[in-house]
Structure 1
Amino acid sequence: MASIPATVSDEDAGQDDGGESAQEVMERLADSVLGATARQWVLAALHGDDAVAALARGETVDGIAEDVRTPPPRPQFGRGYLGRIEVQGFRGIGRPAVLDFPPGPGLTVIVGRNGSGKSSFAEAAQAALTGRNPRWDAMPAAWRDGWRNLHFDDSTEVSVDLHMDGDVGPTRVTRVWTGDSVRSARGEVVSPSGMTAPLRSLGLDPELARYRPFLSYDELGRTVTGRAVELYDTITALLGLTGLAEAERRLAKACDRLAKLRDRPGRDLSYLVSRFKGATDPRAERAAELLTAESIDLERLAVIAADDGPADPARQLVMRRLRRMSVPERSLMGDVVNELRGAAMELAMAAGTKGDRARGVVTLLRQALEHHQRHPQESDCPTCHAEGVLGADWAQRARAEIARLDPVAASAAAAYERAEEARDKARFLLAPMPSWLPVDSELGQVWAQWEAGAKISDLGELADHIETVGRRFRSAATTARRNAGERLDDPTDGWAALAEQLAAWIDDARSATRAHETLIPAEQALDWLTGLAGEIRNERLRPLAAQAEHVWQRLRQERHIDLERLRLVGRGMQRRMAVDVAVDGVDNEGNAPGLLSQGEFQALALSVCLPRTLIPGNPFGFLVLDDPVQAMDTETVEGLSAVLAEVGRHRQIIVFTHDTRLPDALIRLGLPAAIRTIHRDATSNVWVDAPGQYGG
């Protein structure tokens, strides 16, 4: 079986963040059949968000081709190897402990029981370079707060020596924790010349995230079973396809926005039509007709939307009068009702009494005297026609009778006077409906009932009428006055709001027309770029996938599961790396997790992760693996030992494990490896035996 090559060729795996892939797109674009506008979209997508947004707005973007051809340079690093890890006060390590490595390619296996300090060394090295450890992030707060060693009271420090190609000595990275938080560390770098600088001066953060030279058991598991987009992004970055993926994302996002602009008027049309059909303004009726026509005339609609005058001047006059209309106060209506009922009670009490009869006689005599005074020459009674009864003597006797009866009639007369005053007040309230008020309006209908109360003679019934109908009348009048004020604030009587909605819809419709015209070349560009991106991804992924398949073949031993291929598929939140497998010769495209055991998961993750160590441009000549053999059976461990030794010919591979099957397999197979044993006592003193060299 062919061995793993030292690297993936530079032609097959990108080292840039988009420059080479952009250049390749430019070359393919020059030979494509895309129109000029579609080509501009491709160039804008490669250039950046601002250029894409400008094209979407219909603006002309100049100079983007030249900008695309000159990608920003990436910092260059010599390949670095681990020479030493020094740890004190960190997790399981108390007093200072040192772990030395030959700074170059080769396989080193550190084996020890659980709790011997293996992971403490591995995580300390990762923390020194990155300031964090992915395993910490998944742990509860109680675990993170207990990261300091309990047997060591001095400062917590970690130092890592990196031997960079071309340097005369090591670059020492040191991180010292100053607080209780695991993230409270400060780091510094001492160059081979002795110069001290902040850790960030190395500029390795993007490369650490890209190439991941530290892999724990948990991280290996998440490689296949974790978030699909994370593995996609990692592999895309390794292959130098981040820029191309971003260009595809920009273009897809722009097409999506343009499609939404194109479709928005259609989505809003039915609601808008329902609003206009429910309005009484004749302009709304005309607008509804135009909006439901087979071909919508935007110019005619714009004329209607621009008409902001009142719909009915006569109605405006009614509104002004309504706003000035006086509405009876509730307290006044209550006073009149009380007065009517009080007067009615007094009348009822006076009825049939001597005073009531005396009042009647007095009233008749006064009327007769008044008639006699107006017609002194007449002596006959105008009612009974008795002759000669009305004369001076009669008048004198009548006045004497009135004088005698007045005191008797006084109380009854007062009751009648109160009743008349109460009626006058009621008649004042029951004013007739004004001629300008439409009788078919809500207020007009209630007012007709209200004024009908003026015909009621019975005081009690009149009081009931004012009390019951008066409530409805007052409510209707108050509402009409308020509505009139609101409508007068909008002289168009509600049309202004509808016109504003119509104008906004017209703007959307015009934008939709432009968006449709803009979207056609944008979608052509997206289809072309998506197809080309797939080709480039497959080309660059092919050697990495071939290495992964080779590693899998070594690891799978006698299993009947074949790793068919790796594919980068989808975009946006749907992007993922598809792992196609065949079980017993039957293809199962993209559904590997459902078929693999936990040990096979680990083997598959190693198949994906180990080849990226060999990617050109990877500044880390080392890979640290913490317990990679968990859940593997003995045959898989033997396959892994062969793979690690093979990769160790080209890179520095450091493995921490508690499983003695790995060193046993290396010894049994005679594979080259430095195998060392790590120990830890009850007070957190950790030491590592001198290396033993096995094989050749």
Structure 2
Amino acid sequence: MRTETDDATGSLARLLEDGPAADPEVVAVVRAALDDIEQPAPAAGAPRHDGIYLRGIAVRGFRGIGRESVLRLSPGPGLTLVVGRNGSGKSSFAEAAELALTGANRRWEGRSAAWREGWRNLHAPGETRIALDLLTAGSPAEILVRAAWPAEAELTAPEWTEQRGAADPAPFDVEAWSALLALHRPFLSYSELGSLIDGRPSDLFDALHRLLGLDELTAAQERIRARRLTLERAARASRALRTELAGALERTADTRAVELAALLRTPDPEIAAVEAALTGADDTADVAGLRGLVRLAVPAPVVVRAAVQRLERAGAEVARYATGNAEADLRTLELLRRARSHAGDADCVCPLCGAGQLDAAWRAATDIAIGELAARVAGLAEARAELRRAAAALRSLPQPVPDELVAPGRRPVDTAAVARAWTRWAALRFDDGADDDPALPERVRTAYTRLVDELEHVRRGTRTELERLDEVWAPLVPRLTAWITGARLVEADSAELRTVKRAEEWLKAAAGILRDERMAPLQETARWVWQTLRQQSNVELGAVRLQGSAGTARRVLLDVTVDEVDGAALGVMSQGELHALGLSLFLPRATAERSPFRFVLIDDPVQAMDPAKVDGLATVLAEVARSRQVVVFTHDERLAEAVRRMQLDARVLEVQRRERSVVEVRTVSDPVRRYLADARSLMHTRQLPPAIATELVATCCRSALEAAGLARARRSLLAGGMGHAEVERRVSAAQTTRAMVALAVMGVDGKVDDLNAHLAATEGGWAVDVLRDATAGAHVPIDRGMRALIADTERLVARLAADLDGSADRPPGRRAAANGGAARDRGGRAGGQQGRADAGERGANGAPRRRPSPPRAR
């Protein structure tokens, strides 16, 4: 069963060219919406998508399992039934796997707290832990996911790690795994079967929509829809504000309001005219000048105070250092520095007396004198430099008198006093007094204080005048300004709004076409599953359709009829039929080709099914197991009985629970065991002539070798990092028994012609002999008894089932000492594989096996 989908944007590009007609503006909007979708970068710890199989589940202290128990599985396609009575602990394995990988359990969702309180096993105090042993086709091939809860930890707070190959354990990458599990969840519990049908309609719709690979189209639709809603909201808000402002202006007793109200009441007001009227109203009333007076500002008091104090400190420092000798030394130092600079590095005549020589001796003596004088007057020199800087900083504070105070014209507020104060303040900028003038700080304080007082007086008067002028008008001005700004944007966006509406309609139609195309194969598979499961049911499943889109009511429409009559079939379907319908929707999703999970875990799907439907379920599961690892937990013996009766390839594991929650798992049946059991049964069937019995026994032995060989080949190739598709190609290419065994023991580079030499060197001549006899015995007489052939076949099968490093019996999550402690348990027992030879397709009585043939998705 496959559901192949191509890239959504590629399909949309095809529709843009060949689909419903779209003008260039619409095409541009759609392409822009797709281009703007941010493609998430793959998380660094994201698992490879080449196939993830489940190799084992180790559980301690969880639910019905006390001391650690391990459920070992064959990591490859095949059907495994985990059976056991109610309370045996089998469902604890299923729930543990789901909890360790997803962090939650669907069975408990929506239940009372009592469902979650008993998650710890009473017979295993201390740490609770779960380990999932996964095998992928990526590199590294092995992933170990662990969840551990110390004795006092809550269920929601595990110590969660994942370990890849030989690397050290790292924190479990919740984000990376959640993205995969949200789309391709491989777990299905009994409680979920019904909820798939009667849960929230939008949940199933969203899951199928994501599965169809239409997320990008949905995101593009949502972006276009969001843009349309934004533009429409802006237009509605602009119209509502214009109506509200017009009413408020009409109720205002102000000449300025009359003109603006008339402009706003027109059906399509000119924004420029409204803006001009609003600006002119302010100019006429001198509001702009008044507002300018309010905005006048001078340096903050703290800034002026700090500048004055700096000048005073600098003056004090100069006074401290300025002794008579220091002043004389400073003048002498300056004179010597100039003379030394004049002399340079060559001898010359003194420029002052014209007689003395400024030679090397003079220069040396002068350099020493300069150094000594500089050291004596360093404090005074630095103090004078700081004084100059402080004076310059203080004089930079006053600014020229602003235009609002000196420009000609009538002013509602008297500004003459503040203009004079500001003039005195500005004059300090060009004060020609000495930097160390002790009166300068006081002049600055006096001018600044006077200016601040006068400016505050003018501000108070200006505010009073503005309040008088704008008591009613002022609140309307910012609202009018806001409307003008918004109206301009709405006007500019009007053409875009029309285009966006057309683009939204076009993309909705195009997405519907793509959705129907991609839904067809999934619908076909769902109908096949239902048709196989519905044994003796009067309910017929027709089309499975998705109705709705982003931003609207979404649901999955199931066209079901009862006795060819349309109606509310879901209301009259039995619980077993509803569960069968739930499986019909779950399996196509869980086994989609793009899913990274090559396994599905189904817990108790048999409940409420009548015997006929159990036969159909067995057929469906066997068919799914041809390309997936299918693990089914059930206490109902009917499914295992149906598998045996219909001679479907399956491995059956039995879970038993002993005292104090000791849970044990044993293999009841698998294809290899069944073939060997058939061989032993044939050997003891007296009604068969010896020649025919020998031929059939050899056929069963050959099928057992093929099944064991294919199981090992899949396991070793996947563990080596080979992709799932390539593994299946290699397996399918092995058409003979010897080719299958060669692929298992020598890998892809081995040759069938070298198989005998390889077996003789690694196992011994007995292995060559048993392979030869089992292969030939189905066609010609062999010189070996049936009992010996069966015994040697069992021996070779056991060698094939063992892992390459002999670690098949280690539980998942344990590290071996081999390979520096980095080797991992790679195996389990052979099982879940299909024989490829003719005998492998037949039962012990030689009758052809039943092979269901579902429709293949396009």
What TM-score, normalized to structure 1? 0.65
Aligned counterparts of 1:166 and 1:509: Cα–Cα separation in 2: 58
Q: Residue 596 and residue 286 in structure 1: after superposition, are their counterparts in 2 closer, same or farther (change >3 A)?
A: farther
Partner of 1:625: 602
Of 99, 103, 118, 2:75 maps to: 103
**Shift in CA distance, 551/264, structure 1 to aligned 2, threshold 3 Å:** same
Classify the secondary structure of the residue corresponding to 2:173: helix
Counterpart pick for 2:135 among 143, 146, 163:
163
Aligned to 1:359: none
Instruction: Pick the aligned partner of 2:499 from 518, 521, 530.
Output: 521
Deviations 1:399-422 (A, max 9, x none): xxxxxxxxxxxxxxxxxxxxxxxx
Contact kept, 8 Å, 1:83 with 1:102, in 2: the verdict is yes
| Contact 1:86 1:159 survives alignment (8 Å) | yes
How far residue 267 of structure 1 moved from its aligned partner, in angstroms, is 3.5
Residue 244 of structure 1: aligned partner: 217
Contact 2:238–2:483 at 8 Å: present in 1 too? yes
Look up the match of 2:201: 228
Whole-Å separation in 2 of the counterparts to 1:653 and 1:165: 18
Q: Does 1:664 align with 2:641?
A: yes
C-alpha distance in 2 between matches for 1:258 and 1:201: 38
Corresponding position: 1:147 with 2:125: no
Q: Report the number of matched residues.
A: 493
Partner Cα distance (2:562, 2:482) in 1 = 59
Measure how far apart 1:152 and its partner are.
0.6
**Distance change (3 Å), C-alpha of 1:267 and 1:224:** farther
Q: What residue in structure 1 maps to residue 557 of structure 2?
A: 578
Q: 1:223 to 1:295 in 2, by over 3 A?
A: same
* More displaced 10-residue stretch of structure 1: 121-130 or 274-283: 274-283
Match of 2:180 among 171, 195, 207: 207
Question: What's 1:131 paired with?
Answer: 103
CA contact (8 A) 1:220 1:605 kept: yes
Contact preservation (8 Å) 1:233, 1:242:
no
Are 1:163 and 1:171, in contact at CA under 8 Å, matched by a contact in 2?
yes
Q: What is the DSSP-based 3-state SS (H/G/I as helix, E as strand, rest coil) of the residue aligned with 2:122?
A: coil
User: In structure 2, which of residues 520, 524, 527 is the aligned counterpart of residue 542 of structure 1?
Assistant: 520
Per the alignment, in what secondary structure is the counterpart of residue 491 of structure 1? helix
After superposition, give the CA deviation of every residue in 1:273-330 in whole Å (9 maximum; x if it has no partner).
33223222233333333333344233322233334549999xxxxxxxxxxxxxxxxx
SS state of the match for residue 469, structure 2? coil
- Between the aligned partners of 2:468 and 2:504, the Cα distance in structure 1 is 49
Partner residue, 1:692: 669
User: What does residue 532 of structure 2 align with?
Assistant: 554
Q: Counterpart of 2:239 in structure 1: which amino acid?
A: G
Relative to structure 1, the CA distance from residue 207 to residue 492 in structure 2 (aligned partners, 3 Å threshold; closer, same or farther) is same
Residues 350-397 of structure 1 deviation map (CA, whole Å, 9 limit, x = unaligned): xxxxxxxxxxxxxxxxxxxxxxxxxxxxxxxxxxxxxxxxxxxxxxxx
Deviations 1:647-691 (A, max 9, x none): 122211111122233223333333332233322234111112322
Secondary structure, in 3 states, of the residue corresponding to 2:546? Answer: strand
Q: Would you say the 8 A contact 1:259–1:516 is kept in 2?
A: no
Q: CA deviation at 1:605?
A: 1.4
Shift of residue 72 of structure 1? 7.5
**Which residue of structure 2 lines up, in the alignment, with residue 38 of structure 1?**
26
Stretch of structure 1 that moved more, 679-688 or 591-600: 591-600
Paired with 2:535 and 2:49, the residues of 1 have a C-alpha distance of 38
Query: C-alpha displacement at 1:272, in angstroms?
Result: 3.0
1:21 corresponds to = 8
Amino acid paired to 1:666: V
Quick one: structure 1 residues 278 and 629, their matched pair in 2 at CA, closer, same or farther if it must change by over 3 Å?
farther
Q: Which digits, 9 at most, give the CA deviation of each residue in 1:407-441, with x for residues without a partner?
A: xxxxxxxxxxxxxxxxxxxxxxxxxxxxxxxxxxx
Instruction: List aligned pairs for 1:454-603, cutoff 5 A.
Output: 489=467, 491-573=469-551, 574-587=553-566, 593-603=570-580
Deviation at 1:254, TM superposition (A): 1.1
Work out the CA distance in 2 between the residues paired with 1:163 and 1:31: 44
Work out whether 1:118 is the aligned partner of 2:95.
no
Amino acid at match of 1:106: G
Aligned AA for 1:619?
A: P
Deviation at 1:95, TM superposition (A): 0.8
| Cα offsets for 1:589-630 (capped at 9, x unmatched) | xx7654544333211111011122332122211100111233
Q: Distance in 1 between matches of 2:478 and 2:126?
A: 73
Q: Given the superposition, is the C-alpha separation of residues 686 and 39 from structure 1 closer, same or farther in structure 2, using an over 3 Å criterion?
A: same
In 1, Cα distance between equivalents of 2:8 and 2:194: 31
Q: How far did 1:236 drift?
A: 2.4
State the 1:87 CA deviation.
0.7
> Take 1:606 and 1:626, find their aligned partners in 2: how far apart are those partners?
12
CA 1:312/1:493 → structure 2, altered by over 3 Å: closer, same or farther?
A: farther
SS at 1:689's partner residue? strand
Residues 115-162 of structure 1: CA deviation (Å, up to 9, x unaligned)? 221221001112222232233443333443431111112321111222
The alignment partner of 1:646 has SS state of helix
Structure 2: distance between partners of 1:653 and 1:230: 25
Aligned ranges 1:260-659 → 2 under 5 Å: 260-309=233-282, 489=467, 491-573=469-551, 574-587=553-566, 593-659=570-636
Give 1:514 shift.
Answer: 2.4
Tell me, in whole angstroms, the C-alpha distance in 2 between the residues paired with 1:156 and 1:596. 42
* Stretch moving more, 662-671 or 541-550: 662-671
| Contact 2:49–2:138, Cα closer than 8 Å, also in 1 | no
Give the AA of the match of 1:675. V
CA distance in structure 2 between the partners assigned to 1:308 and 1:166 by the alignment: 75
Aligned position for 1:443: none
Question: 2:66–2:661: 8 Å Cα contact kept in structure 1?
Answer: yes
| Residues 257 and 652 of structure 1: CA distance in aligned 2, closer, same or farther (over 3 Å) | same
Structure 2 residue corresponding to 1:93, chosen from 55, 65, 74: 65
8 Å contact kept, 2:527–2:542: yes
2:124 alignment partner, SS class: coil
Counterpart CA distance in 1 for 2:224 and 2:191 is 36
Letter in 1 for 2:513: E
The one-character-per-residue Cα deviations of 1:79-131 (angstroms, maximum 9, x if unpaired) are: 12222111111111001111112221121122223222122100111222223
TM-score, with normalisation over the residues of structure 2? 0.53
Contact 1:556-1:636 within 8 A present in 2 as well: yes
| Aligned-partner SS, 1:566 | strand
Return closer, same or farther for 1:291/1:665 CA change in 2, 3 Å cut-off. same
User: AA paired with 2:490?
Assistant: A
SS at match of 1:559: coil
1:47 aligns with one of 35, 43, 52: 35
Contact 1:21/1:243, CA 8 A, preserved across alignment: yes
Partner of 1:405: none
Structure 1 stretch displaced more, 292-301 or 680-689: 292-301
| Identity %, equivalent residues | 38
* Partner SS state of residue 158, structure 1: strand
2:232 to 250, 259, 281: 259
| Structure 1 gap segments, 5+ residues each | 15-19, 51-67, 314-484
Compared CA separation, residues 190 and 76, structure 1 to 2 (3 A): closer
Given that 1:94 and 1:149 are in contact with CA atoms closer than 8 Å, whether structure 2 keeps it comes out as: yes
Matches of 2:72 and 2:29 in 1, distance apart? 54
Give the partner amino acid of 2:611.
Answer: T
